[in-house]
Chain A
């Protein structure tokens, strides 16, 4: 049984598909097509949640996304906090419970998938009610590419719950015909269950589609770029503010009508209808027709609308004009309403009378859903007649239509939608005509009179509250307190009272609170205004917006051609930018320290090999290439001869070291640059910037070739012997193949460019082969090296070896505040060139200070271990009270097999003049004595590079 309040027939639920669910520990049943709210109401369950501040019972106010009250926690199939019962689709196995304002996150990982797609269309129609469907039909018939997005499970918008007729047949038949026609058109995409959450620059809209439990992805984020946007987003009915207006059973009149027509649910047996707007009358009449006893229609206005008054009289419904509901009775459910004669001009109240009821319908007029229009920078203006803020002015390419534009009848909505569709099509240069509008019920245009609050006849009564924002439990008294404290801006009062800051962003309370504020300040509502309409329109899960960019897809993983070999060797990897680089290659039983010492020893005494493919590579071509390189490097490049290689240093314009690498001259007008692994993209952008925007006269082209070349470093005194076995076509002796030159040869049948470059100080070669052959050549070199005990080594060993030689790593031994001179690399700064990037900055006052931090070596006192990298250096032997002057910090620090002592590189104030001094590393709470040394620790003479 799906509940005592379910009608025997009617509604859009599927009675053949009962759905079992659980709410607050009770097993219940509804039908497919129900929302959680409609299923609960069918069971007579009105209290769904409790209020956040006062813990009062709260029911179902609305039938849609504007719901401020009926907050639920989903428990199964997977916990999800703070959904509105009015938008949760009833599904088998659903378990939920009511919430007192705070949701609960599951500690378990969300098993669902999420994704995102991009869509480009001529016309995006937001909302598939009468206006949206009319617009979509007009636009689609013109040949435009149309997307229709609607948050609901079914198209129809307001027609889903109004029970009205179009062309003398149920309106939903027209909706279905329109939907079917749109679905048939190849250029139309229909997106039900899709909430458009935000409008961004240049008609870029974001929508989130709920794809249901059976889809591969649970939710999908749509990024839609539309030439034209029709905003047919409807309107939200406003509740009324009176004492104790929050009891369960208090419901918007339009919502009650929706529960009746769409879900075949009677939200009560005996109702009082309190309104200031004609729109509540059809609800009263429909409910009465369905068997609800209408105790009274209480209209705060002096006169009832004659058209509706007559119909009420025909159905025996008493209409009490000039009256207001001034209070309610009940606890978990409203049991009665108290009426009093009411003069809306003076606020004077007459004596109270009591009416029993289990349903209190309210209607305080309608707020057009102008959120997206406002986000599109569309101006809003308060409309006295409508009692609401309406779109005003115009935004090119944005067309508000229907109820969102402040229109009230279905006929108006159909017409305005068609006009919007035609306008959108014509802006696209398409010919469009509006189809004849279907015939509607002959109702007059509803009118209303804004009533922001009903005075409380007994404001001192304990526990009586007039709620303005039900989601935040904020009351008229709160607004009064804010105004009393001196606040006049709606933004301040919102923050003081927290009105509008709930999950619903004050859809039902925003205009009402502005009206109350205006009344208290004696100001004009149009001056008071509203708070800003912020995206998203409805709450969106983090995961939906994160999409697929999680786990390994959070950021691209770049690997080299030899990656799988490294994995097979059990190497742990270091993230360097997006690259995965082997860190070290532990042998069984080895920890990192042992592995690195072994790898270092192998390179210093035998031969090692490293995958250095991740170094950035930029191919520079053009007649002015040499001149260009002279401008971007600190040192002279134009004198580099074909076949030779030179180390190069780059600075930013403010003279700070930016990147380094080698320059290889590969042709008359062609060079290959290498960059640091992490800096490659930045260097290319830096070079393109100068080339394209400053030196436009230079004929140079730059191409990234990082992933064209796999590169292998072969280092150690026996590296030549390995290469002799593996490589043909190159005379490898020092005379024919000197340091800092390159030759073409063949390795493993592959053409290879072999360079004599060393980052360890040892005799070394760098072998470049096409990426595709990287693994093959790597393995061939490894095989050739086996007789010599060739040892693969990772980034850590490379770091140790270069540090022993005093070679800095840009980004580790520099931090963007370090000049070439600070690094002791003045030798790499040309004195002959007229200019290069950064040159002028070297003579600024701060650059010529003698106490700048300079790169030096450090040797900890005997018996001390490795200094942690990052350790601060101080002069004092005993720490004074803070602030303690600091000399600098340790940039690199290692154990050394070759030196037999831990050592470090550091940036130290006036460091070069302090060589030989003892200073202190601040490690934990200790001061570790360290001696300042030259940064070159090993083979100062450079004798080893030739083997």
Chain B
């Protein structure tokens, strides 16, 4: 049961969160300019490192905000720092 630091709510149990895999995978700006292979890369291919991984989590049972987290996939050790720099921006 990992203790996940939500940038909005503080550390909470893993069960409150939804996992979103690799962070920073942007949808191609012009999808129609992407080849089928490039589009497939966006849809289906994600990094899968053994070690530190920047990944997305969403605080489903709390603030419902997505945020990025750096975690070691071999040990589940969470590298704090990344989320603290993260802007807590909400478009209003």
A688/B3 in contact, CB under 8 A: no
Whether the Cβ atoms of A844 and B36 lie closer than 8 Å is: yes
Check if B75 sits within 8 Å of A204, measured CB to CB: no
Query: What are the nearest 10 A-B pairs in CB distance?
Result: A840-B31, A202-B3, A204-B1, A699-B91, A692-B66, A201-B2, A201-B76, A200-B1, A693-B66, A654-B43
Residues of A within 8 A of B40 (CB): 844
- Report whether A700 and B91 are in contact in the complex, using a CB–CB cutoff of 8 Å: yes
Q: Is B46 an interface residue (CB 8 A)?
A: no
- B26 and A840: CB pair below 8 A? no
Residues of B within 8 A of A692 (CB): 58, 65-66
Compute how far the CA of A835 lies from the CA of B26 in the bound complex, rounded to whole angstroms.
Answer: 15
Q: A693-B56, A835-B31, A840-B32 are in contact. Are A698 and B18 (CB under 8 A)?
A: no
- B3–A841 contact, CB under 8 A? no
Assess the B89–A696 pair: CB atoms within 8 A.
yes
Could you name 11 residue pairs across A and B whose Cβ atoms are closer than 8 Å? A202-B1, A685-B58, A688-B58, A689-B20, A698-B91, A699-B91, A840-B31, A840-B34, A840-B39, A841-B43, A845-B36
In the complex, which residues of chain B have a beta carbon less than 8 angstroms from the beta carbon of A845? 36
| In contact, A696 and B91 (Cβ under 8 angstroms) | yes
Given known pairs A840-B32, A840-B34, the reply for A688 and B75 (CB within 8 Å) is no
Given contacts A688-B58, A692-B66, A699-B92, contact A653 B76 (CB under 8 A): no
Q: A692-B66, A699-B91, A841-B39 are in contact. Are A225 and B75 (CB under 8 A)?
A: no
Q: Does A458 contact B (CB under 8 A)?
A: no
Given contacts A201-B2, A841-B39, A844-B36, contact A688 B64 (CB under 8 A): yes
Bound together, the chains give a CA A835 to CA B28 distance in angstroms of 11
A377 at the interface (CB under 8 A from B): yes
**Residues of chain B with a CB closer than 8 A to A653's CB:** 27, 42-43
A501 to chain B, nearest CB (A): 27
Tell me if B79 counts as interface (CB < 8 A to partner A).
no
List of A residues within 8 angstroms of B18 by Cβ:
685
Hey, which chain A residues are within 8 Å of B14, CB to CB?
A: 201
- Residue among A200, A201, A698, A835 with max Cβ neighbours from chain B (10 Å): A201
For B91, the chain A residues whose CB sits under 8 A away are: 622, 624, 696-700
Query: Count of A residues near B, CB < 8 Å?
Result: 29
35-83 of chain B: CB within 8 A of chain A: 36, 39-40, 42-44, 56, 58, 60, 64-66, 75-76, 78
Write out the residue numbers on chain B whose beta carbons fall within 8 Å of the beta carbon of A689. Answer: 20, 58, 66
- A694: Cβ under 8 A from any B Cβ: yes
Binary interface encoding of chain A residues 830-842 relative to chain B, with 1 for a CB under 8 A from any of its CBs, else 0: 0000010001110
**Complex CA–CA separation, A891 to B88 (angstroms):** 45
Q: Give Cα A204–Cα B76 distance, bound, in whole angstroms.
A: 13
B18 to chain A, nearest CB (A): 6
**Complex: A698 Cα to B64 Cα, angstroms:** 17
Judged by a CB distance under 8 angstroms, whether A223 is at the interface is: yes
On chain B, the residues within 8 Å of A694 by CB distance are 26-27
**In contact, A204 and B20 (Cβ under 8 angstroms):** no
CB distance from B89 to the nearest CB of A (A): 7
Tell me the minimal C-beta distance from A698 to chain B in angstroms. Answer: 6
Q: From residue A393, how far is it (CB to closest CB) to chain B in Å? A: 14
CA of A699 to CA of B92, assembled, Å: 5
Q: Nearest chain B CB to A816's CB is how many angstroms away?
A: 14
Please, which residues of chain A bring their CB within 8 A of the CB of B65? 692
A-B contacts besides A692-B65, A841-B43, A844-B39, 8 pairs, CB < 8 Å:
A225-B3, A377-B75, A685-B18, A696-B91, A699-B91, A699-B92, A835-B31, A844-B36
CB A623 to nearest CB in B, in angstroms, measures: 9
B6 to chain A, nearest CB (A): 13
A223 to B1, CA, bound (A): 10
Residues of B within 8 A of A839 (CB): 31
A693 to B42, CA, bound (A): 14
Measured between beta carbons, the chain A residues less than 8 angstroms from B34 are 840
What residues of chain B lie closer than 8 Å to A624, measured between beta carbons?
91
Chain B minimum-CB-distance residue to A200 = B1
Q: State how many angstroms separate the Cβ of B84 from the closest Cβ of chain A.
A: 18
- Report the Cα distance A694→B25, complex, angstroms: 9
Give chain A nearest CB distance to B39 CB in angstroms: 6
What CA separation (Å) do A925 and B43 show in the bound complex?
Answer: 41
Chain B residues whose CB sits within 8 angstroms of the CB of A699 once the complex forms: 91-92
* Contacts of B14-33 to chain A: CB distance below 8 A: 14, 18, 20, 26-28, 31-32
Question: In angstroms, how far is the closest chain A Cβ from the Cβ of B90?
Answer: 8
Residue of B nearest to A684 (CB): B64
- In chain A, positions 652-700 with a C-beta closer than 8 Å to chain B are 653-654, 685, 688-689, 692-694, 696-700
**Contact A202–B39 (Cβ < 8 Å):** no
A840: min CB distance to chain B, Å = 4
Inter-chain contacts of B27 with A (CB < 8 A): 653, 694
| Chain B residue with Cβ nearest A118 | B13
Task: List the B side residues contacting A843 at CB < 8 Å.
Answer: 32
Query: CA–CA, A669 to B76, complex, Å?
Result: 43
Contacts of A622 in B (CB 8 A): 91
**A122: min CB distance to chain B, Å:** 15
> Residues of A contacting B36 with CB < 8 Å?
844-845
Across-interface contacts of B42 in A (CB, < 8 A): 653
CB distance from A78 to the nearest CB of B (A): 31
A835 to B78, CA, bound (A): 37
In the bound complex, what is the Cα–Cα distance between A697 and B75 (angstroms)?
35
State the Cβ distance, A496 to closest chain B Cβ, in Å: 29
Distance of B92 from chain A, by nearest CB (Å): 6
- Residue of A223, A692, A840, A844 most packed against chain B (CB within 10 A): A840
CA distance A751 to B4 in the complex (A): 44
- Give CA–CA (A624, B91) in the complex, Å: 10
Determine the residue in chain B with the shortest Cβ distance to A205: B1
Measured in the bound complex, the distance between the Cα atoms of B56 and A700 in whole Å is 21
Q: How far is the CB of B63 from chain A (nearest CB, A)?
A: 11
Residues of B within 8 A of A204 (CB): 1, 3, 13
Cα distance, A202 to B5, chains bound together (Å): 12
Once bound together, how far apart are the Cα atoms of A622 and B2, in whole Å? 35
Q: Which residues of B contact A223 (CB under 8 A)?
A: 1
